[in-house]
Amino acid sequence: MSSRTKARKRAVDILYSADLRERALADALVEESQRAAQQPAREGSWVYAREIVSGVDAHLAELDAAITAHAHGWTLERMPVLDRAIIRVGAWEILHNDEVPDGVAISEAVQLAAELSTDDSGGFVNGVLSAIARDR
């Protein structure tokens, strides 16, 4: 597993945890930063995970608007928390990280959904992120 793949999973974990606990992403990032300082072996995934979470936090309103516009029939509140976190990571990569090709961002998000969420989540994540990429 590449360090970027690990970083995406770590970012999803942070977003998911913050959302469930109704904590600010900035606070969750500080907490995870302290944990990361105690685990130098995981530094490779921390740098990009921090970039993703910071980016999602900085652009949350824009990302959520794009997700809502492309998640036909689904509000953000109705989405499973885990799927919402995965889609936010993918949407941030598509809209704000030119180093990651859209296809890679979508594929990685779909893979995370397949591993971590329901049987239907991969298709849902793919549909929303593909639509965001197409309309970008």
Question: Which pTM was predicted?
Answer: 0.94
* pLDDT per position as a tens digit, 57-77: 999 999 999 999 999 989 999
pLDDT at 34: 84
CB 107 within 8 A of CB 33: no
3-135 under CATH 3.40.190.10, yes or no: no
pLDDT at position 37: 80
Mean pLDDT of 6-16: 96
Predicted confidence at residue 36, as pLDDT, reads 79
- Sketch the domain layout of the chain as residue ranges: 3-135
Average pLDDT over residues 109-120: 96
Q: State the chain's maximal CA–CA distance in angstroms.
A: 43
Q: How far apart are CA 25 and CA 27, in angstroms?
A: 5
pLDDT by residue (tens digit) across 12-61?
Answer: 999 999 999 999 999 999 998 888 788 777 676 789 999 999 999 999 99
